[in-house]
Amino acid sequence: MTLQNKRTVIIANCFHVFRHFDKAILKILIYLIFTETFLTGSVANANGISLGTYFLVYTSNELAIAAIDSLVTKITPATGAISYSTTCKISILDDHAFFFSEGVLGIVSANNEDDSYVSKIAKIEYNRRSNPVQKIKLPVDFGRLADDWSKTIIQWLQAHYASMKQQINDRPEGRITVGYFVGEDSLGNIATIEAKIIKEQAMTIPIFDAKISLLPPHTFKVIGHTDIFNGFANAFQADHSPQNRPNILAAKIKMAVEAVRDKGNDPYVGGDIATVILERGHKWRWFHRPDFCPEN
């Protein structure tokens, strides 16, 4: 066989293999390409970070409720801190799952296109796991999902650290960003996974680590302003009729976040309070949807 004929056979075989690629495999390849683009595409333009969120989340096996403010503060050496209060921080992953985060939400670049990076990666990772090679949809392993998300976020932080070193080092207790994945587990129960990205404070070089944990059932999770939150503790524990409990509890959780916004004297908390409910066996739903949050 001549060299030319060998080349023809190789090309034909490659084409034959490519034609039989499963669409899900192609989606995974697209995911890898987009992830690499996100990680490297704006390093040169990065000059600051975007910060948020104040939130309160309740989780149990039957129910999860999250209430979150809408203020994002972008911090750069040139402009200082500039805040915007029309950001929807709840990212819907599918009919039975959503994501939100606090801390560093993204980078501030010359064109301001990457200020919601952590939620973009959450969606990319979730879509990759919820579209397996098999033709049937399988339950998502939220622990592994959070682990993969954390690894990608750490790579991103390492790639951008030089251009936003001061802002990263100023984060309290080395806590850079914390992501929360809320959805149904393999048994159909509601599960909330916390993925915390931290920077080792004592190190002169940036060493980031991830701590991933499942929030226990019947947990109220909040970061900061515990004095205001504790004022609502008795109201949260009050008994309610089962059919009305999700809405009543959501109203109280939203009120607690509003109290932090109005009385906490915190420049990083503000705007309308988006509140979402996920009940076991039901599609997620808005309890309160700000105008700037999508309906679906």
Helix axes 23-40, 117-130, angle to 10 degrees: 160
pLDDT, mean of residues 136-141:
62
Parse the chain into domains and list their residue ranges. 41-288
pLDDT, mean of residues 31-36:
42
10 or 221: which leads in pLDDT: 221
What burial class does residue 133 get, using C-beta atoms within 10 Å of its C-beta: 0-12 exposed, 13-18 middle, 19+ buried? exposed
Q: How confident is the model at residue 30 (pLDDT cuts 50, 70, 90)?
A: very low
Task: Give the phi and the psi of residue 146 in degrees, each rounded to 5.
Answer: -65, -35
Contacting residues for 59 by C-beta, under 8 A, at least 6 apart:
182, 190, 191, 192, 215, 217, 218, 219, 221
pLDDT for the residue numbered 136? 45
97 or 135: which leads in pLDDT: 97
C-alpha triplet 95, 179, 284: angle, nearest 5°: 20
206 or 71: which leads in pLDDT: 71
pLDDT for the residue numbered 207? 87
pLDDT, mean of residues 77-94:
89
Residue 276 has pLDDT above 80, yes or no: yes
Look at the pTM and tell me if it is higher than 0.85.
Answer: no
Residue 48 has pLDDT above 60, yes or no: yes
User: Whole-angstrom distance between the N-terminal and C-terminal Cα of the chain?
Assistant: 59
Residue 231 has pLDDT above 90, yes or no: no
41-288: what fold? Glutamine Phosphoribosylpyrophosphate, subunit 1, domain 1 (3.60.20)
Residue with tokens 């914390």: 178
Residue 18 has pLDDT above 50, yes or no: no
Residue 37 has pLDDT above 60, yes or no: no
Residue with tokens 């023809």: 8
pLDDT in tens, 203-224: 667 789 999 999 999 999 988 8
Residue of 292, 288, 294, 247 whose CA lies nearest to 93: 294
Q: How confident is the model at residue 117 (pLDDT cuts 50, 70, 90)?
A: confident
Contacting residues for 290 by C-beta, under 8 A, at least 6 apart:
70, 86, 88, 271, 272, 273, 274
Beta-bridge mates of residue 182: 98, 192
How remote is the C-alpha of 203 from its chain's centroid?
Answer: 27
pLDDT for the residue numbered 244? 73
